[in-house]
Amino acid sequence: MFSKIKEECGIFGIYSMENNEDLAPITTVGLACLQHRGEESCGIAVNDGGLIYCEKDLGLVADVFRPERLAKLPTGKIAIGHVRYSTTGAPRVENAQPIVKRYAKGNICVVHNGNLTNTEELRNELEEHGAIFNSTSDTEVICSIIARERRKVGSIEEAVKNATKYLKGAYSLLVMSSRKLVAVRDPHGFRPLCMGKLGNDYVFASESCALDVIGATFERDIKPGEIVTLYQNEMKTENFRTNEKDGLCIFEYVYFSRPDSNVDGMNVHKFRELAGKYLAEQAPVDADFVAGVPDSGLDAALGYSKYSKIPYDIAFVKNKYIGRTFIQSTQNKRKNQVALKLNPIPSTVKDKRIILIDDSIVRGTTITRIIKTLRRAGAKEIHLRIASPAFLGVCYFGTDVTNKDGLIATKKTVEEIREEIGADSLEYLSLENLRKIAEGSNMKGFCEGCFTSKYPIEVPDELQKDKFEKIF
C-alpha cells in the first residue's frame, strides 16, 4: 500500500538555442531561488543529444549540487529541475524528482508542482494494465499516462494534451522528451508557472524570482490550460482549456511565494503589504510599534505600520540556518524549532505594547511559542493581527495541510484561539478584504479552500475520507 505524499514544490526548466550549454549550474541557481517551495529533496535532469542524465537526492540544493555532483551532469540543450517538500511518509529519494523513464518512444522526464485528486484511481487503472511504479508520487502516474498517450499520437505535446483529459487537480508541469521541452499548467492554474528569456534561451519557473536571479527577463505567466512547446529552437503554444474557471491558490500570495515574485500579474510583497493596510483599517489598536513575524509577516507589518502611522520595528532576530518549521514532522520537534529559529530583541520589546503581524495561523503551534518568547522578553501587550482569514479547510492541491483536526480554527472561536495562544487581542483579515486585494491579480478566480472549504473542483469523497482517517 502506498503512503500518502503531499507536497508543495518548485520547478525550473531551460531550453537553450545551443546544443552544448552548461545548463546544470543555471538550473541550480534557479532551484536555489525556489528552495522555499521545497526543502526535502531536489534534482536536475539534463538532455544531451536526446539522452537524459539525472542527479537527485534528499537535501537542500546547495548541499546536493556541490561541484562534484554538478560535474556528473553533461552540457546539453534542455534541463529541468525540481525542489520538493513533503511531510507525510518517510522522505525517500525515490519520490524525488525529476522522474525519468525510458519507453517505446524514447525518453521522458517530468517535474511537477501540485497534487492530483484522482491519483489512486489512475494508478489502479495503470497497474491493471501492467504498469509498475517505483515511487508513491503522483508525478510518476502523470509520466506513465503521458507515455501511454504518446503511443496513440504523433508528438509529445499531443500526448500531454491527451493526458490532461485524465488528470484531475493541480499540476504545473515541465516535460522533457528526447528533443522537446513542454510546459503545461492545469486548466484552473492552481499553481503558478511563468516563462522568461535568458538571451534567446527560454526559461520556465514556478516563480519569477528565479528568473530575476539568473538574469533572465520575465516574459509572461503560462495561462491556465496552456501547453507551451519548444522544439528545434521554436516556441509554439496551445490552449486545451474548455470551460474551467481560474483557481489560483490564494495561499501562494499569503505565504508560499516569495515577496519578490510576481504571480499572475501581482507582486507578492504588494499583496501582503495591502493585507497589512486592510488589517489596520479593519482592526485598529493603539500600541508602541508594529512588528512582523519573520519572514512571512514582515510585508504585512510594514503595510499596517504605514497605514496606521504606528512605527515599524524589528522584534526578532531570525536564525538564517534553520529551515521552515513545518519541515519537522512531529509536533515536539516543531516546538523546539520555533525557539531556535526566532529570538526576540529584549531592548525593543521590553515593556512595549506590540502589534504583531503574521501571515496565517494554521495549527497555532508557532504563534503560541512566539508569543511566549515575547512575554519572556518583557512585552507588555501583544495584539496579534493575521494577514489572512481563519484557516478552516484542508488542501488537496499540493500542500501539506491534509488534516482538518490539526487546524486550530476548526475547533475554536477567535476568542478561544486568542486565549489559547496568549495574545491580548486577535483579529484575522476578512475574506472580503482578502478578495479585494486579489482583484489586483490577472486571475479572475482563486482556490480559497483553506479559508472556505470550498474548492474550484469537486474533491472525490474517498479522498476526503482518506485524509480524515489516515493522515497523522
Q: What's the min distance (Å) between Cβ of 192 and ligand AMP? A: 15
Q: Should residue 95 be labelled a site residue for ligand AMP when binding is judged by CB under 6 A? A: no
Please work out, in degrees rounded to the nearest 5, the angle formed at the alpha carbon of residue 71 by the alpha carbons of 140 and 68. Answer: 100
Q: What's the min distance (Å) between Cβ of 296 and ligand AMP? A: 4
222 versus 421: smaller Cβ distance to ligand AMP: 421
CA distances from 468 to 87, 273, 405, 423, 471 (A): 16, 35, 8, 30, 7
Closest Cα partner for 289 from 205, 378, 382, 216?
382
144 versus 366: smaller Cβ distance to ligand AMP: 366
Q: Should residue 390 be labelled a site residue for ligand AMP when binding is judged by CB under 6 A? A: no
Q: Should residue 324 be labelled a site residue for ligand AMP when binding is judged by CB under 6 A? A: yes
Q: Which residues pair with 317 in a beta bridge?
A: 343
108 versus 395: smaller Cβ distance to ligand AMP: 395
282 versus 329: smaller Cβ distance to ligand AMP: 329
Measure the CA–CA gap between 170 and 199, rounded to whole angstroms: 31
Q: Which three cell numbers stand for residue 378?
A: 518583557
Q: What's the min distance (Å) between Cβ of 42 and ligand AMP? A: 17
Q: Which three cell numbers stand for residue 187?
A: 486548466
Question: With contact defined as beta carbons under 8 Å apart, do 141 and 168 qualify?
Answer: no
Measure the CA–CA gap between 207 and 315, rounded to whole angstroms: 29
Q: Should residue 326 be labelled a site residue for ligand AMP when binding is judged by CB under 6 A? A: yes
Measure the CA–CA gap between 264 and 169, rounded to whole angstroms: 19
Residues in region 4-33 near ligand AMP by CB under 6 A: none
Q: Which residues pair with 204 in a beta bridge?
A: 13, 195
Q: What's the min distance (Å) between Cβ of 327 and ligand AMP? A: 8
Residues in region 343-382 near ligand AMP by CB under 6 A: 358-367
Q: Should residue 318 be labelled a site residue for ligand AMP when binding is judged by CB under 6 A? A: no
171 versus 251: smaller Cβ distance to ligand AMP: 251
137 versus 366: smaller Cβ distance to ligand AMP: 366
Three-state secondary-structure class, residue 446: strand
- What is the DSSP track for 167-224? --B--EEEEEESS-EEEEE-TT--S--EEEEETTEEEEESSHHHHHHHTPEEEEEPPT
Contact string 29-68 vs ligand AMP (x = CB under 6 A): ----------------------------------------
Contact string 140-179 vs ligand AMP (x = CB under 6 A): ----------------------------------------
Q: Should residue 401 be labelled a site residue for ligand AMP when binding is judged by CB under 6 A? A: yes
Three-state secondary-structure class, residue 93: helix
Burial class of residue 174 (count of CB atoms within 10 Å of its CB; 0-12, 13-18, 19+): buried
Q: What's the min distance (Å) between Cβ of 107 and ligand AMP? A: 33
Interface region with ligand AMP, contact rule CB under 6 A, candidates 47-55, 160-168, 375-383, 399-407: 399-407
Length of the chain (residues): 472
82 versus 341: smaller Cβ distance to ligand AMP: 341
Question: With contact defined as beta carbons under 8 Å apart, do 289 and 374 qualify?
Answer: no
Measure the CA–CA gap between 363 and 214, rounded to whole angstroms: 36
Selected from 400, 402, 441, 448, the binder of ligand AMP by CB under 6 A is: 400
Catalytic positions, please? 9
Query: How many amino acids of this chain bind ligand AMP (CB under 6 A)?
Result: 17
92 versus 324: smaller Cβ distance to ligand AMP: 324
Q: Which residues pair with 101 in a beta bridge?
A: 108
Residues in region 250-269 near ligand AMP by CB under 6 A: 255
**C-alpha radius of gyration, the chain, whole number:** 22
Q: What's the min distance (Å) between Cβ of 76 and ligand AMP? A: 34
Q: Should residue 241 be labelled a site residue for ligand AMP when binding is judged by CB under 6 A? A: no
Q: What's the min distance (Å) between Cβ of 179 and ligand AMP? A: 37
Interface region with ligand AMP, contact rule CB under 6 A, candidates 106-114, 124-132, 171-179, 397-405: 397-405
Measure the CA–CA gap between 203 and 197, rounded to whole angstroms: 6
Q: What's the min distance (Å) between Cβ of 425 and ligand AMP? A: 18
Q: Should residue 296 be labelled a site residue for ligand AMP when binding is judged by CB under 6 A? A: yes
- The four Cα atoms 174, 112, 138, 143 give a dihedral, to 10 degrees, of 10
Interface region with ligand AMP, contact rule CB under 6 A, candidates 28-36, 199-207, 278-286, 394-402: 394-402
Which residues make up the interface to ligand AMP (CB under 6 A)?
255, 296, 324, 326, 358-367, 399-401
